[in-house]
């Protein structure tokens, strides 16, 4: 996985970066009577990697899905680039400059690797729907540019040689790289990574870490991940969830030394009252991120 | 020998029509996982539109184009207005809706165009070409049928393989949710898919009608053969639909040409072929290829 040397064909300057801030404030999500998230707030600062961690069932994926419109919060405010998004729809994500990867890989099985990545660059195609359908000359040129852009993204992630293959015939780590190329090819301002390291070896995880650090000049990243060493290495800030509540937030060092976090992860068998007291203490002691 | 060639050519020609109908079913099945039972009567409706134009004095070709265009519109409307609301519910709902639509459209045709038998013209002769002083059993009409289906198939392949819209349609067919996350307008792709499928279905309806009689239920036999062809091919594979259509066309033509009282056995043999294929390869002939790719 080579570093992404330059912003692939992008004219974008840094002036779009300062505004690309994702703010989620006071998010509540209830599935039926079950509270999946209670008053969670999280801000992904421009050009930063924000980690979202917590034990299984803590609500990480739910919060993630709120950020991309798959789950609608029962209350709370989501703002992207300073504008509140009331009706965030998944189909609008790419046009907002947000890309996400999926748990697993989510590649289209019957399409080649290159075609998969081309779909990711879809929003950059200029020709309208009908000229594309009728294969008018503008669309032809478009098509070629799309193909080139997708190929470049694959090469940057070291998967260029697999362009003509079908995803099912490739090893899992390569599939993950392709999925990442598909997210990066849209040149998002915010990249949502859902457990990108699952199924990767130690070395591959290290490369992934380098890659994530190398893209932050161009975009902010929200990272949901189990592997602590990766999270601690690449994140600028971390939010820790447990049972749908935010129990800690801060820099990796701060979070690591937070007793509430240790407790949530080690599952300390204290009685419920003490547990609640600890939680209150932890929440009171730290300002929201 | 002449007879054999003749029977084979008839089989290929009919098979092309079955293939087109099967392809229409497969296109919809792939994109929405719905078996569209209304395909037949939708095609019949557009054939009657063509017939009305021809009776009003329009040329066959104008009628053909208008019929195909109205097929597209009809398919798109059916998806948007009737299928969309039941999608996402239990799978059976959409299927029952298409069955209801099948009956409703057929009744609508009878109300608007009448239920009597009417002859439908064919643009070409049905006499074989003459080479020297022998007549070969290849007619302009069968050439027209084979050629037009091949052209439509080539256009579809080009659309799916080489255009951005085709790419987005395939992505939507594989996973609507992922495609949506990547910014594909999945709803539009589904509408387009239904429209295109209805165009192919309409073409099969117009071709089977050429030179014979049409009435509101004239598509019924083709519906059965088209379904059998699609299932032989595996319902998920466009190539399978075409091969299935050709296999069925040839087999049925041989049965009706060689078996004693063959023409009475045609419908039964279609079902026998279906059962044999399903016994030997339950997923259809082309299922394993898709499974391996997946």
The Cα–Cα gap between B289 and A53 comes to: 41
Q: What band does B21 get if pLDDT is binned at 50, 70 and 90? A: very high
Which chain A residue has its CA at the smallest distance from B170's CA? A111
**B293 vs B68, more confident:** B68
Indicate whether A119 pLDDT > 50: yes
Interface of B with A in 14-33 (CB under 8 A): none
- Chain B residues within an 8 Å CB radius of A127: 164
Cα B234 to the center of its chain, rounded Å? 15
Count of domains for chain A: 1
Which of these ranges, A11-20, A215-224, A272-281, has the smallest mean pLDDT? Answer: A11-20
Indicate whether A284 pLDDT > 80: no
Mean pLDDT of A223-229: 86
pLDDT at position A2 = 44
A267 touches chain B (CB under 8 A): no
pLDDT at position A10 = 41
The Cα–Cα gap between A188 and B213 comes to: 59
The CATH number linked to A240 is: 3.40.50.300
Which chain B residue has its CA at the smallest distance from A105's CA? B178
pLDDT at position B251 = 93
Identify the sign of the CA torsion A107, A110, A114, A120. Answer: negative
| CA distances for A41 relative to A37, A78, A195, A258, B13, angstroms | 10, 9, 20, 18, 66
Which among B168, B170, B181 has the least Cβ separation from residue A90?
B181
Indicate whether B136 pLDDT > 80: no
Which among B175, B181, B293 has the least Cβ separation from residue A168?
B293
8 Å CB contact of A119 and B171: yes
Interface test with A, best of B72, B162, B164, B187 (most A CBs within 10 A): B164
Mean pLDDT of A215-237: 88
pLDDT at position A279 = 57
Looking at the complex, report in whole angstroms how far the Cα of residue B6 sits from the nearest Cα belonging to chain A.
38
pLDDT at position A88 = 79
Percentage of residues in chain A having pLDDT higher than 90: 6
pLDDT at position A31 = 83
Mean pLDDT of A238-264: 85
- Chain B residues within an 8 Å CB radius of A91: 180-181, 183-186
SS3 of A239, please? strand
Indicate whether A264 pLDDT > 90: no
pLDDT at position B71 = 96
Which chain A residue has its CA at the smallest distance from B236's CA? A110
pLDDT at position A287 = 45
Mean pLDDT of B77-91: 89
* Residue A278: domain span: 26-97+187-285
Mean pLDDT of B63-87: 94
Q: What band does A267 get if pLDDT is binned at 50, 70 and 90? A: low
What token pair was written down for B8? 């084979």
Interface test with B, best of A89, A105, A107, A133 (most B CBs within 10 A): A133
**ipTM of this predicted complex?**
0.75
Looking at the complex, report in whole angstroms how far the Cα of residue A256 sits from the nearest Cα belonging to chain B.
33
Identify the sign of the CA torsion B159, B163, B167, B173. Answer: negative
- Quick one: DSSP state of residue B87? T
Indicate whether A259 pLDDT > 70: yes
Percentage of residues in chain B having pLDDT higher than 90: 51
A108 touches chain B (CB under 8 A): yes
Mean pLDDT of A98-111: 84
pLDDT at position A4 = 45
- Chain A residues within an 8 Å CB radius of B189: none
- Chain A residues within an 8 Å CB radius of B184: 91, 119, 122
Query: Could you give the angle at the alpha carbon of A21 between the alpha carbons of A15 and A22, nearest 5°?
Result: 155
- Quick one: DSSP state of residue A281? H
Mean pLDDT of B168-192: 88
- pTM assigned to the model: 0.80
DSSP string, A250-279: E-HHHHHT-HHHHHHHHT----HHHHHHHH
pLDDT per position as a tens digit, A182-192: 988 888 889 99
pLDDT at position A21 = 86
Which among A90, A127, A168 has the least Cβ separation from residue B294?
A168
pLDDT at position B13 = 92
Which among A95, A110, A129 has the least Cβ separation from residue B183?
A95
Mean pLDDT of B149-155: 92
Q: What band does A6 get if pLDDT is binned at 50, 70 and 90? A: very low
Which of these ranges, A4-8, B134-138, B144-148, has the smallest mean pLDDT? Answer: A4-8
Does the residue A130 lie in any domain?
no
8 Å CB contact of B183 and A93: yes
pLDDT per position as a tens digit, B204-248: 999 999 888 999 999 988 999 999 999 998 888 888 899 999 999
H/E segment holding residue B9: helix B2-32
pLDDT at position A25 = 87
**CB-neighbour burial class of residue B181 (10 A; exposed 0-12, middle 13-18, buried 19+):** buried
**A140 vs A46, more confident:** A46
Strand partners, B49: none
Does the residue A203 lie in any domain?
yes
Indicate whether B44 pLDDT > 70: yes
pLDDT at position B49 = 95
- A30-66: string of b/e by CB count within 10 Å (b at 16+)? eeeeebbbbbbbbbbbbbbbbbbbbeeebbbbbbbbb
Interface of A with B in 42-101 (CB under 8 A): 68, 90-91, 93-95, 100
The answer to whether the beta carbons of residues A240 and A215 sit under 8 Å apart is no
Q: What band does A124 get if pLDDT is binned at 50, 70 and 90? A: low
pLDDT per position as a tens digit, A192-213: 998 888 888 888 888 888 888 8
Indicate whether B22 pLDDT > 90: yes
Which among A91, A100, A109 has the least Cβ separation from residue B293?
A109
Q: Residue A209: what are its φ and ψ, rounded to 5°?
A: -60, -45
**B101 vs B131, more confident:** B101
pLDDT at position B11 = 92
Mean pLDDT of A95-100: 87
- Chain A residues within an 8 Å CB radius of B167: 111, 115, 118-119, 122
SS3 of B254, please? helix
- Chain B residues within an 8 Å CB radius of A182: 182
The Cα–Cα gap between A58 and B240 comes to: 47
The Cα–Cα gap between A256 and A254 comes to: 5
**A12 vs B1, more confident:** B1
Q: What band does B118 get if pLDDT is binned at 50, 70 and 90? A: very high
The answer to whether the beta carbons of residues A1 and A212 sit under 8 Å apart is no
Interface test with A, best of B181, B190, B199, B293 (most A CBs within 10 A): B181
Strand partners, A194: A224
Indicate whether A132 pLDDT > 60: no
Does the residue A145 lie in any domain?
no
Which chain B residue has its CA at the smallest distance from A109's CA? B294
pLDDT per position as a tens digit, B249-282: 999 999 988 888 777 888 888 889 888 888 888 7
The Cα–Cα gap between A8 and A153 comes to: 7
8 Å CB contact of A91 and B185: yes
Neighbouring residues of B294: CB distance < 8 A, sequence distance ≥ 6: A109, A110, A168
Task: Say which residue the tokens 């703010």 belong to.
Answer: A23
Which of these ranges, A134-143, A228-237, B159-168, has the smallest mean pLDDT? Answer: A134-143
**A280 vs A140, more confident:** A140
Beta strands in A141-236 (DSSP E): 190-194, 220-224
Radius of gyration of chain B (CA): 19
**CB-neighbour burial class of residue B232 (10 A; exposed 0-12, middle 13-18, buried 19+):** buried
Does the residue A32 lie in any domain?
yes
Percentage of residues in chain B having pLDDT higher than 70: 97
pLDDT at position B289 = 44
- Chain A residues within an 8 Å CB radius of B165: 129, 132-133
- Chain A residues within an 8 Å CB radius of B157: none
As a residue count, chain B comes to 294
């Amino acid at each position: 996985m080579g570093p992404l040397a330059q912003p692939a064909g992008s004219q974008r300057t840094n002036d779009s970066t300062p505004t690309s801030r994702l703010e989620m404030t006071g998010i509540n999500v209830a599935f039926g009577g079950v509270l999946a998230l209670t008053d969670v707030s999280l801000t992904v600062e421009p050009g930063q990697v924000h980690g979202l961690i917590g034990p299984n069932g803590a609500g990480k994926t739910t919060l993630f899905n709120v950020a991309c419109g798959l789950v609608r919060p029962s209350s709370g405010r989501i703002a992207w680039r300073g504008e509140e998004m009331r009706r965030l729809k998944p189909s609008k994500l790419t046009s907002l400059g947000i890309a996400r990867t999926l748990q697993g890989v989510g590649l289209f099985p019957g399409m080649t690797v290159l075609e998969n990545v081309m779909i990711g660059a879809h929003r950059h195609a200029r020709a309208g729907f009908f000229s594309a359908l009728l294969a008018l000359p503008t669309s032809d040129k478009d098509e070629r540019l799309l193909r080139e852009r997708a190929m470049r993204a694959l090469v940057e992630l070291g998967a260029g040689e697999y362009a003509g293959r079908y995803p099912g015939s490739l090893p899992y780590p390569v599939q993950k790289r392709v999925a990442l190329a598909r997210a990066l090819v849209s040149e998002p301002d915010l990249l949502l990574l859902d457990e990108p390291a699952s199924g990767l070896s130690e070395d591959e995880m290290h490369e992934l870490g380098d890659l994530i650090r190398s893209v932050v000049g161009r975009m902010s990243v929200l990272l949901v991940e189990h592997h602590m060493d990766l999270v601690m290495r690449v994140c600028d800030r971390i939010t820790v969830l447990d049972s749908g509540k935010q129990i800690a937030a801060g820099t990796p060092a701060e979070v690591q030394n937070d007793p509430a976090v240790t407790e949530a992860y080690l599952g300390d068998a204290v009685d419920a009252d003490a547990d609640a007291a600890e939680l209150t203490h932890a929440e009171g002691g730290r300002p929201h991120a | 020998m002449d007879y054999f060639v003749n029977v084979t050519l008839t089989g290929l020609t009919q098979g092309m029509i079955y293939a087109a109908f099967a392809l229409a079913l497969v296109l919809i099945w792939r994109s929405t996982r719905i078996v569209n039972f209304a395909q037949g009567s939708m095609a019949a409706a557009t054939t009657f539109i063509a017939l009305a134009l021809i009776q009003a004095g329009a040329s066959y070709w104008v009628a053909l184009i208008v019929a195909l265009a109205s097929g597209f519109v009809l398919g798109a409307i059916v998806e948007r207005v009737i299928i969309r609301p039941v999608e996402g519910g239990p799978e059976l709902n959409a299927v029952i809706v298409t069955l209801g639509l099948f009956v409703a459209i057929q009744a609508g045709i009878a109300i608007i165009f009448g239920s009597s038998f009417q002859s439908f013209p064919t643009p070409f002769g049905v006499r074989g070409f003459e080479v020297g002083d022998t007549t070969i059993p290849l007619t302009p009409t069968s050439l027209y049928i084979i050629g037009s289906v091949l052209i439509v198939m080539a256009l579809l392949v080009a659309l799916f393989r080489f255009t951005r819209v085709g790419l987005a349609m395939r992505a939507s067919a594989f996973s609507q949710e992922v495609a949506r996350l990547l910014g594909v307008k999945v709803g539009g792709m589904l509408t387009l898919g239904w429209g295109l499928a209805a165009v192919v279905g309409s073409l099969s309806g117009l071709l089977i009608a050429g030179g014979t009689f049409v009435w509101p239920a004239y598509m019924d036999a083709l519906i059965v053969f088209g379904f059998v062809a699609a299932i032989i091919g595996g319902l998920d594979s466009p190539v399978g639909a075409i091969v299935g259509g050709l296999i069925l066309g040839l087999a049925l033509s041989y049965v009706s040409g060689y078996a004693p009282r063959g023409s009475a056995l045609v419908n039964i043999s279609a079902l026998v072929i279906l059962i044999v294929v399903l016994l030997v390869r339950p997923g259809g002939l082309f299922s394993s290829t898709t499974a391996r790719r997946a």
